[in-house]
Structure 1
Amino acid sequence: MSLKGKVAVVTGSTSGIGLAIARAYAEQGANLVINGLGDAAAIEAERAKIESDFGVKALYSDANMLSHVEIEGMVKLAETELGSCDILVNNAGIQYVAPVEEFPIEKWDQIIAINLSAAFYATRAAVPGMKARKWGRIINTASAHALVASPFKSAYVAAKHGIAGLTKTVALETATFGITCNAICPGYVWTPLVEKQIPDQAKARGISEEQVKRDVLLAAQPTKEFVTVEEVAALALWLTSDGARSITGTMQQIDGGWVAE
């Protein structure tokens, strides 16, 4: 497939899943706006590498996912500097784990804002241009937790269930405009963030790092294997293709069989 002439905005794309998706789009010729947190020099290196590896234009937006004004500005940046926002991937997200009666209110507010409201703000800003061009692809990074729950993750599960509802509603509203809206629902994905947690988990639980992987992180995944960022990116790429133009309002599971149980 070719995405030459298309512009993609990918939030939370300075590392992990978001960066893999951004690079997959760039490989097919899309110009990009990447966004996320991290060391400024490392982000600039990734941005420049996308341009040099694939011969596309890549811009960086430092839009704060807590600010609807900055999120709208990020979409505007794509439209004014690159010509459009054809593909929107709402990928930014955070996590916090605690029993519901102990869950900090500020953490609840932050998770709902970044994992759910930010996707609404970006979608709201991008849809008018997509409707005018009669083409658009909106992909929300949800989670297996958009479909099932786990203890101690009340805010995250609530936000991801909310993403499922937002995805379906936007799909219905845009169905006659050549726009699709789908959610990707990964299980545990092998990212630097996950990898860094394993030694601490092993120490805290008094078990080996392999036991942490198998018995803690992968307990819910029948394959007992992590999903890779490349697999998620391949699914996101396919959802932008003409072959997926009739697929909208769906939850695309990529979870090693987690939700099948």
Structure 2
Amino acid sequence: MDVTKLIVGCVTERGLEEHMKKSSGAERLRLEIRQNCKLFLLKMVSKLFEKAPLKYPLVRNLSVLDPRMLLKSKEVSTRKLTTVLRLLVETGRIEDKCCDEIIREFGHFYDHSLMSASDSFREFNPQSGRLDEFYQEHLSNKAECRHLWEVVKLVLVLSHGQASVERGFSVNKEVMVENLKEHSLIAQRVINDHVHSVGGLLNISFTKELLLSAASARQKYHMYLDDQRRLKQIEKKTQKRKGKMEEITQIKSKKKRMEEDTRVLMKSADDNEEKAE
């Protein structure tokens, strides 16, 4: 990279020009600044490559699922799919005996389904379209591509990891307050998820069943408290009975040991008596 062609911004350029009017070493300073900018860019790009998932062969070859890329070359797409299958076999995700069948199904899908629907593949927009819905439409209802569809579903969820669970942790933190019971937290999460699923509070349908449930909520709460009290009483009685049974078991065990000790002492006394005679 030619550092003299590096764009450092209008403010920096103006500052350098003003400095050149005041100092004779401004040109050297200009080169140093550009050189430092170059080093910064190289370090930043290097760090991005280090952290980016593109360093993994599986991620690079998953471009085979890009509908726009599929149309460019069947040979390249098949080669990428083969690499993906090999990596899945190495990690124990699929069995190696299935690979040939998946490649065959991909070839059949490419020659027939893809070519007949090439416009939808070419016009796919990742900004507005979902890849899972796209392949759900083109693969899920084809029995001749069932093994290929299983692999597509598998690789589409690899990048998600625990994202939905971790997002749930954030929501839990927002709705949690002190002394919040587990059932209350679950109920608030259910309500929160439903509000988001329907698109906001104004889109909630207040049915007769919902209104009746809300009206009887207090009564259900008191019934729940009564049930919990009964359960605690039963548990307390069970623990008390269990404690008595354990005490009885210990007494029986102690009695058995004492009887065994008595038997041994009596036998020893008889032996000593016989020896004395």
With the shorter chain as reference, the TM-score category is: under 0.3
Higher RCO structure (Cα 8 Å, ≥6 apart): 1
Select the structure of larger CA radius of gyration: 2
TM-score by length of 1: 0.20
TM-score by length of 2: 0.19
Structure with greater proportional helix content: 2
